[in-house]
Every structure is written in C-alpha cells, then in structure tokens.
Amino acid sequence: MDYEAVIGLETHVQLKTKSKMWCGCANAFGSPPNTNVCPVCLGLPGVLPVANEEALKLTALTGLLLNCRIPPRAKFDRKNYFYPDMPKNYQITQYDQPSTANGYVDFEFNGGIARVRITRAHLEEDVGKSFHFERNSGVDFNRAGVPLMEIVSEPDLTSADMAYEYLNALKDILVYGGVSDCDMEKGMVRCDVNVSVRPVGTRELGAKIEIKNMNSFSGVRRALEYEIPRQIEVLSKGGKLIQSTRRWDDAAGVTEEMRTKEHAHDYRYFPDPDLMPFAPTEPWLADVKSRAVELPLARKQRFMKDYGLPASDAETFKNDVPLGNYFEGIAKQSKNPKAVANWVINNLRAKLSESRSRGNEALTENGKNGQSLLTSAPAELTLADLKFKPEAILELANLVEARTISSSAAQQVFAEMFDTGKSPTAIVQEKGLAQVSDTGAIEKFCDEAIAANPGPVADFKSGKVAALNFLKGQVMKLSKGKANPALAGEILERKLKG
C-alpha cells in the first residue's frame, strides 16, 4: 500500500516591536541576562499588563498579508502550566478568539503555485530562557513577554520539501511586511511540526505526531525526511501509531518520543481578567491596511510580466528588494528592460558583492595580525554609495543598443563609471571608445585585411565559412577594436562574394 504524508505547521514568530507585549521593557536580543525586565514581565504579584498596540497591528497586518479575515473582536486567554522559564505560571495567548483567521499562502513549488490554508494567526508572549551550568541552572527573563505570533497552517503540506518552501515563503512575507526580522540565528522563528501519514486515496487523517520546537527550516526538512518514512514503516509492518510528541535530535538525525497523548497537558484556558477584549475600529484597520505591501510572489510575477524578465532575474529582485527597486526605477524608462537587468545583476550587483567580500577579507586579515578590527577595513558599498546616477545605466544600455559602443567597450565604460561617477557618454568620448560604424572607414579596413591575408581569403572562397571570422578579427585589430563587428562582417562578406 502507498502512503502519503499530511503536515501542518505551527510557526512562532517574534514581532518587530520596540518594547515587550505587556510592559515597556526593550524587545532586544543579546542584552546581558535579566537586564530587560520589570515587575510585569517577571510576573510579580499585583501588576497589570497593558497590551502593546504595535504588536496587535503587526498581527492584523499579518492577517492581511496572509489573506485572512480580521474578526470584529479578539480576546486574550491564560494558558496555565508550570515551567521555570515562565514567571507568571501562565502564558497569555489567544485561545478561541484570535486576532485573525481563515487565510492562505500561495508559493512556488514544483514548478507551479501551491496553496496552504492558514487556520489562524494569534498573538501571545515568548518565555524566558533556561541555562544549565555544571552545578546549577539559571533563567534569563529578557525574552519573557516578547510579542510572539503563532501562525497555524491547515494540514495541507504533503512533503518535507513543500514544508521547507512554505516556511521560506512565509518568512519572506513577514520580512517584506516589516512584521519580523525572522532572524533564525537569534531564534526569531520557531516551529512545531505536526505530521501523520495515511493510505493514498483516503481522506481520514492518521494519528498526529508533533515534533516540538524546531529552530531552523532545514532542520524541519530533515526531521520530516526522517519522520515520514519512519511512520510509513510502522504502518507497513502492521504496527499502530498513536498521537504523541517527539523531539528532533539534530546531531543523531532522528526523532524520539517525548510523551504520548495520555500525558497531554490540560492547560485550563480561561479569559484573562486583566485584559479587555479587543475590537479593531475602522480608523485602526485603515492604518493597518495602509501598511500592507506587495507580496514577494506577486512582485516576482509582476517583474516577469511587466519587464519581460526570466524567472531567475525576477527571483533576484524578489530577494534583494533595494536592488529590485533600483532596477525598476530605470527599467520603467527603458525599451529594453532585460538589458538593464543584465547590467544591474551581472555588473552592479557583482561589484557591490565584490566590495563586500573585500571588506570581509580586510577584517579577517586585520584580525589575524592582531590589529584592531576597526581600522582600515574598506567599508562595504551599498546602492546609496554609488557615484553614478541610476540613469547612467540606462544611458550605457542605450549606447550598446544603438551600437555606438561594442559590448566589450561597454564593460570598460561600466568599470570607469563605477569608479569615477562620470557619465557613459563622457567616458566614451574621453577614451575614444565609440565604434566605427562609418561604412567608408570600415571598407578601408576590410580591403586592407583582404589584401594582407590571401590564404584565408582563398579558404573562404573555397567554402570554409570559418575563415570569415578570422578576417573579421583582422578588421577589428586594424580598427583597434572600434569597428562595428556586425557591419565589418557584412562588408567583408559582400566584398569576398562579389
């Protein structure tokens, strides 16, 4: 019997706010332990939480970006459990009335567009972090009370790769929207993976296995690549699966059981009596709507359609938003946007990343020599540092298009304009790079080349077409590279055939 996987993800994302969810403490990563804390986020008795409005807005914005509904009323509930990293002994979350629900995400997968439905996105709070030392343990509460959004998907994912692509698409959307920086290194995105298998063709869901607290997308993919065949094997051998929670051991590359359903928590949810239910008003929603952005996939598709770009170029501009905006500013005025894209991607981006890696090399070298890391490392260049105006790229592309300069001369012009900021036309004049398209002048070079090379001329006449390229090369040489090569070819051919 053939089995298929059914996967649903619960993705936790730290929101990009200045302060925490219920107090004014900084939402910051990397501060010394227990420095961003106060009586509220330490759960001391007698304090009251005040909801962070920006966090509510970012969650509503996420709803819009994920095509969700924003219900007229949301509320906060207490999820009760005891754990040392949670000072109040309950986590404030949204149980049955989340901020937003019923949406979907479209993303590229397997050469097409896949859709995963979004059950809900709700707002809650992060917990502290436990540290275990040789003789004792400690808790850092800096993270306790950081606004955390949980995005729950319907079980619409069917493979490890699809889950991986979904997570990347989700991350792109959240970064685009300014909802979260989604910095994985800083633990800003964590994910619970729910997976079951069922015989192909059946509708009923199998026993749900939850793999808790994954902190990298590639980890999610690897865990699923292990877990799906494991479940299939159990069933194929006539075994039974029961609903349970497992842990991913990244080093060993296996999942292992933590607890089964009999030991599931009863969180005794109830509405938080300290927090009013939240009803978004029209002006409030209008403000959220004004912050909605074009989605990454829509941007990519628009770049392909409006500028006739291949998918790979559009992908580059989707991933590098400032570069894409830079391109768009020029491409709008160009008749040949693909040529502009080539300059922006193959030349400009290459130069910028070159400066970046040179900066890094200088840093490591200084470090190795034991000198200060702060001296003499050339700062890496960004688009804002460019010496030339964006229109210069358009001008350069037009010079090539009009055959005023050859494509190899154009490379020279680009390098010069990158270094000096001079206009392409000025550089062409200064360096005498203009192609000779004057037929008379080229005729003269052709006559010279023919006269000086009787062998290749005879070859061509006896049918060796390749000899023409040799003669064309001679014309280019005689003209010091300035003859318009296409024109030179045409004239040579006419003369030899005539």
Q: For residues 208 and 358, which CB has a smaller minimum distance to ligand ADP in the complex?
A: 208
The residue (of 257 and 294) whose beta carbon lies closer to ligand ADP is 257
> Which entry of ligand ADP, Zn ion, none binds 205, CB below 5 to 8 A by partner kind?
ligand ADP
CB of 153 to ligand ADP, least distance (A): 5
Distance from C-alpha of 156 to C-alpha of 5, rounded to nearest angstrom: 10
376 with 362: CB under 8 angstroms? Answer: yes
Cα-based distances in Å from 223 to 13, 191, 209, 217, 233: 20, 12, 12, 10, 16
Mapped onto helix, strand or coil, the DSSP state of residue 172 is helix
Determine how β-strand 90-93 pairs with β-strand 77-80. Answer: antiparallel
Q: Is 165:108 a contact under the CB 8 Å cutoff?
A: yes
Instruction: Count CB-CB contacts under 10 A for residue 25.
Output: 22
Could you say which of ligand ADP, Zn ion, none residue 23 binds, taking C-beta under 5 to 8 angstroms by partner kind?
Answer: Zn ion
- State the minimum distance, in angstroms, from the CB of residue 39 to Zn ion: 7
CB closer to ligand ADP, 176 vs 269: 269
**Of 255 and 435, which has the nearer Cβ to ligand ADP?**
255
Count of CA atoms in the C-beta half-sphere (13 A) of 224: 27
d(CA 303, CA 151): 29
SS3 of residue 42 by DSSP: coil
Write 389-396 long-range contacts (CB < 8 A, 24+). Answer: 390/326, 390/329, 390/330, 391/330, 391/333, 392/417, 392/423, 392/424, 393/330, 393/340, 393/343, 393/344, 393/348, 394/330, 394/333, 394/334, 394/340, 395/423, 395/424, 395/425, 396/343, 396/424
C-beta of 277: minimal distance to Zn ion in Å?
Answer: 23
38 binds, among ligand ADP, Zn ion, none (CB under 5 to 8 A by kind): Zn ion
Task: Closer to ligand ADP by CB, 196 or 316: give it.
Answer: 196
Closer to ligand ADP at the Cβ: 4 or 250?
4
Q: Tell me how far the alpha carbon of residue 67 is from its chain's centroid.
A: 20
Residue 195 interface partner, choices ligand ADP, Zn ion, none, CB cut-off 5-8 Å depending on type: ligand ADP
Q: Which does 484 bind (CB under 5 to 8 A by kind): ligand ADP, Zn ion, none?
A: none
Distance from C-alpha of 431 to C-alpha of 387, rounded to nearest angstrom: 19
Residue 59, contacted partner among ligand ADP, Zn ion, none, CB below 5-8 A by kind? none
Rounded to the nearest whole angstrom, what is the least distance from the CB of residue 353 to ligand ADP in the complex? 38
Please choose, from the candidates 128, 130, 126, 129, the residue with its C-alpha nearest in 3D space to the C-alpha of residue 146.
126
Question: Residue 8's binding partner, choosing from ligand ADP, Zn ion, none, with beta-carbon cut-off 5 to 8 A by kind?
Answer: ligand ADP
Summarize as ranges the residues that interact with ligand ADP (CB under 6 A).
Answer: 6-10, 152-155, 194-196, 205-206, 208
Site residues (CB under 5 A) for Zn ion?
23, 25, 38, 40-41
Measuring CA to CA, which residue among 275, 280, 268, 271 is closest to residue 40?
Answer: 275
Nearer to Zn ion, 40 or 488 (CB): 40
Least distance between ligand ADP and beta carbon 419 (Å)? 54
Q: What's the token pair of residue 341?
A: 């894209």
* Nearest approach, Cβ of residue 124 and Zn ion (Å): 16
The smaller minimum CB distance to ligand ADP, of residues 208 and 302, is found at: 208
Chosen from ligand ADP, Zn ion, none, partner binding at 6 (C-beta under 5 to 8 Å by type):
ligand ADP
Q: Between residues 38 and 275, which has the closer beta carbon with respect to Zn ion?
A: 38
Given a contact cutoff of 8 angstroms between Cβ atoms, the answer to whether 162 and 114 are in contact is yes
Minimum distance from CB of 184 to ligand ADP (Å)?
Answer: 20
**Could you tell me the smallest distance in angstroms from the CB atom of residue 94 to ligand ADP?**
13
Given ligand ADP, Zn ion, none, residue 41, with its beta carbon under 5 to 8 Å by kind, binds Zn ion
Q: How far is the CB of 418 from Zn ion (least distance, A)?
A: 49
Residue 385 one-letter amino acid: D
